[in-house]
Structure 1
Amino acid sequence: MSAGRCHTRLQDVLQAAGSARDVFLQITASRAESEAAHSLQSAGKLAGVAFAVKDVFDVRGTRTSGGSQLFDHRPPAMADAAAVARLSAAGGVLVGKTTLSELAYSGLGVNERFGTPTMRIAGKDHLVGGSSSGSAAAVRAGIVSLALASDTSGSTRIPAAWTGVFGFRPTLDRYPRLGMMALARSLDAVGVVAASLALINTADEVLADDHTALDPPRSPPPFVVPAHDQLLSCDPRVTGRFLETIEHLRQLGLRIHQRPLASLDAVRSMHQRHLPIVEAEALRAFGTYLALHPDRLGPAVRSRLESAGRNSHHRSARPLVAAMPSLRAQFRRELGRCLLLIPPVEIDPPQLAEAQTIEAQTTLNHRALRLPMIFSYLDAPSLVLPVGQQGPGSPRCLQVTGASGHDRRVLHAALHLQSAVPSHPSPSFKGESR
């Protein structure tokens, strides 16, 4: 592409980002122009690829807000977060920073102060999911083709599933976390949202600094699907779409077995009995603000922190932390040579009108996080793969998951799945023409 066409394309991207007020918190126009000019001579794997960054990552010269009023007076970052630096070094062009659930502490993507991205389904506004709401929205709207996200209990996978784009949570320390605002360090992972599986793969190679990636095997691995009773908490529509997709894959010749995985039940049981790790570590990170600056916390986050404080008096997260290594080993044994196929989220995207009270947000948030949270505890690399659309605006997605450290196996398996069941467009965003 000529320098003139590249400049025109970048100006279109920056204009679109600036118009998406519920998606972008900051536009990095000067940096984007500089990086775009450099990318014309770059041989990097992401040369010329426009990307956005969830505002939990430091970007040199910008304030990292975490989507919260708490940090209105924080000074600009002196350096890029390590993940941001790697994308830029590979030729990526940073367009701006995206909105999120406050402090990345919700799976819904609601942020009353900084913006709540929505999408139109059957003529009504629906939530895009969170906490990486802006990253998924920016990719789905076509403003950028790649975005950095974070994932503690599903914050990359939920918005990817609800918007019908690709989303990947890697093994915990596969990507560098330096310069990323923490919510719960035991579970916080750097995530990636992208418009294509090819970009997810390229971003993985760049972020993991993995130069030894092998070509995917010629035949897909065997897959396992949880027993029916382990899917009972999913909405019937979610389960129905999932089972239809699984049956279609079987008819195409993929080896898919259905059997119970005790590790999934064990994680869920322990999570119910003990103080969730996210509650304990979020309280440790931000609980002091309940006394110091409660007026600077949004009502939903304030309510969650207060609830965590009450729960911490009679429950502890220590048994969960201590059990994670053995649970992860159990999951690895149960999978064997297989990879897991499962719905990414138990529920379809709720209407914005259904999330107007703290009580409603609490209930919806619990349901949104309940399934993806399991795989955070298991440190299981998980990819959300769009595989079509059911009816007017209901994304059909699969999550393919492996044991901790098996990131490349998951990504290679996704290539086989995508060739078997191609994806289709997903719901339009508010104001987006179709």
Structure 2
Amino acid sequence: MTTVEDALTRAHRTRNTFLRITDERAAAVVSQGPLAGMPFAVKDIFDVRGTRTSAASRVFDDRPDASRDAEAVRRVTAAGAALIGKTTMSELAYSGLGVNERFGTPTLSRAGREHVVGGSSSGSAAAVRAGVVAFALASDTSGSARIPAAWVGVFGFRPSLGRYPSDGMTALAPTLDTAGLIAARLEHVEAVDRILGGDPGPAPEVPVFVVPHEEYLSGCDGDVLDRFHADLARLRAAGFRVAERRLESLELARRLHRLHVPIVESEAYAAFGRYLEEPDLLSSQVRRRLERARTRLRQGSADPLYGSVSSLRRQFRRELGNALLLSPATEIDAPAYDDVRASAEAHDEVNARALALTMVLSYLDAPSLVIPFGGGGLPRSIQVSGASGWDGRVLRAARQLGAAPGLSETARHW
């Protein structure tokens, strides 16, 4: 494991990843506890005592320094982890791409071009991917931990709502917001989950998996689907039961999201819409989304979604039975930074596609783990999800996948 001193050195060498590096705090850590000496970072929506929580936005330029740590930060530091710093993000956590006009955008170089790492927890994923930290606290409302994890090839976990403490977190859409994790190894996810969420429960029998009907995945790029089907074939060859099933709850949640004002848009506008009247305060991307929300709210509301989420979650649980869901994390691979910046239309279209699959699972309160699934070339991953409250089952299933014979060297070292 990277030492605290090495982590601090690497953090100072990163570009567009950290907003603040907490040298003195990291150096003073007492290396005892279940996370003893483990370097970690936090997305800048979590309060850290003595620092300003900015959510990477001018909106909070005048916010005073936090007087205490967010509860999630307090728990992991009490367990011995060393806080290296606070990471950058999409402004206000309101984008799936990780672009930030003010603080810079983390990117990864591939084939001679810079690609975005995804958002909104972009800096958290970049810090883990670069080997600076073992794990990072993120958030996940519509996919903010899972998308960047998938695009950089690390683990990303969205727990069930309420499993992790939210005290001291700046909210975007409280109905769907949750703290999340991005980590280099599955054992790090498991260790931090025990600190934040408690006992994951008994290990299940060999899991049964279902995949959505092909029509539900028709929006995916061909390369994404090809890799997904290849990974399913590897799982079947390793002895896992994987069946295709039409899950009406997935399709209904997506249909309602498209027909009505999304919950995230409604709640983000309630929280930040007033800043539209202040010129140059918001980035162009956030301003467009808030303006679109204002227009849509004049014509409709999110009430049909609020009224449906409980029944959708019950239906999803019934349709799964004793199975877990396998799906791609996103419809697309990480786009090139220049392509995202080509026009407002290009940015917004790519952002919508990035969020399309993860957003549906957020409505269903499905604990979901993005697993890097080995292989060369582009980072490849698969997403394992369960019904609300099945966090332990999802994590245990990931452990069983990693132990299966015939999978890649990467998988077997989870």
Name the TM tier (shorter chain).
over 0.9
Residue 432 (structure 1) aligns with = none
Residue by residue, what CA displacement relative to the aligned partner does 1:196-239 show, whole Å, maximum 9, x if unpaired?
0001001100011x1x444534x421110111111111111001
Letter in 1 for 2:370: V
Q: 1:423 to 1:314 in 2, by over 3 A?
A: farther
> Residues of 2 paired with 1:65 and 1:47: CA distance?
28
Matched, 1:415 2:409: no
> Residues of 1 paired with 2:18 and 2:410: CA distance?
25
Q: 1:323 aligned to 308, 332, 352, which one?
A: 308
Q: 1:399 aligned to 383, 391, 394, which one?
A: 383
Letter in 2 for 1:278: V
The alignment-based identity, stated in percent, is 55
Alignment gaps of 5+ in structure 1:
426-434
Counting only pairs closer than 5 Å after superposition, residues 329-344 of structure 1 correspond to structure 2 as 329-344=314-329
Matched, 1:234 2:220: yes
How much has 1:417 moved relative to structure 2? Answer: 1.3
C-alpha contact 2:339 2:346 (8 A) present in aligned 1: yes
Matched, 1:290 2:276: yes
For the aligned residue pairs, the C-alpha RMSD in angstroms reads: 1.4
C-alpha contact 1:147 1:193 (8 A) present in aligned 2: yes
> Residues of 1 paired with 2:369 and 2:409: CA distance?
14
> Residues of 2 paired with 1:27 and 1:285: CA distance?
28
Q: 3-state DSSP class of the match of 2:347?
A: helix
Counting only pairs closer than 5 Å after superposition, residues 271-282 of structure 1 correspond to structure 2 as 271-282=257-268
> Residues of 2 paired with 1:248 and 1:424: CA distance?
14
C-alpha contact 2:138 2:180 (8 A) present in aligned 1: yes
Letter in 2 for 1:350: P
> Residues of 2 paired with 1:282 and 1:403: CA distance?
26
C-alpha contact 2:200 2:391 (8 A) present in aligned 1: no
Q: 1:188 aligned to 170, 174, 177, which one?
A: 177
Question: Which consecutive aligned stretches of 4+ in structure 1 deviate over 4 angstroms post-superposition?
Answer: none
Q: 1:106 aligned to 81, 91, 95, which one?
A: 95
Q: 1:423 to 1:78 in 2, by over 3 A?
A: farther
C-alpha contact 1:101 1:130 (8 A) present in aligned 2: yes
> Residues of 2 paired with 1:313 and 1:389: CA distance?
48
Q: 2:203 aligned to 203, 206, 216, which one?
A: 216
C-alpha contact 2:4 2:37 (8 A) present in aligned 1: no
Residue 353 (structure 2) aligns with = 367
C-alpha contact 2:209 2:325 (8 A) present in aligned 1: yes
Letter in 1 for 2:301: S
Residue 430 (structure 1) aligns with = none
Residue 69 (structure 2) aligns with = 80
> Residues of 2 paired with 1:196 and 1:11: CA distance?
20
> Residues of 1 paired with 2:311 and 2:142: CA distance?
19
C-alpha contact 2:4 2:82 (8 A) present in aligned 1: no
Counting only pairs closer than 5 Å after superposition, residues 18-417 of structure 1 correspond to structure 2 as 18-35=12-29, 38-39=30-31, 42=32, 44-208=33-197, 210=198, 212-214=199-201, 216-217=203-204, 219-291=205-277, 293-356=278-341, 357-390=343-376, 392=377, 394-417=378-401
> Residues of 1 paired with 2:409 and 2:84: CA distance?
26
> Residues of 1 paired with 2:395 and 2:346: CA distance?
36
With structure 1 as the length reference, what TM-score do the two structures score? 0.92
C-alpha contact 1:56 1:64 (8 A) present in aligned 2: yes
Q: 3-state DSSP class of the match of 1:53?
A: strand
> Residues of 1 paired with 2:355 and 2:279: CA distance?
25
C-alpha contact 1:386 1:423 (8 A) present in aligned 2: no
How much has 1:99 moved relative to structure 2? Answer: 0.3
> Residues of 1 paired with 2:237 and 2:15: CA distance?
45
Moved more, 66-75 or 329-338: 66-75
> Residues of 2 paired with 1:364 and 1:72: CA distance?
29
Q: 1:207 to 1:422 in 2, by over 3 A?
A: farther
How much has 1:423 moved relative to structure 2? Answer: 5.9
> Residues of 2 paired with 1:214 and 1:262: CA distance?
28
C-alpha contact 1:223 1:339 (8 A) present in aligned 2: yes
Letter in 1 for 2:400: H
C-alpha contact 2:375 2:408 (8 A) present in aligned 1: no
Residue 4 (structure 2) aligns with = 10
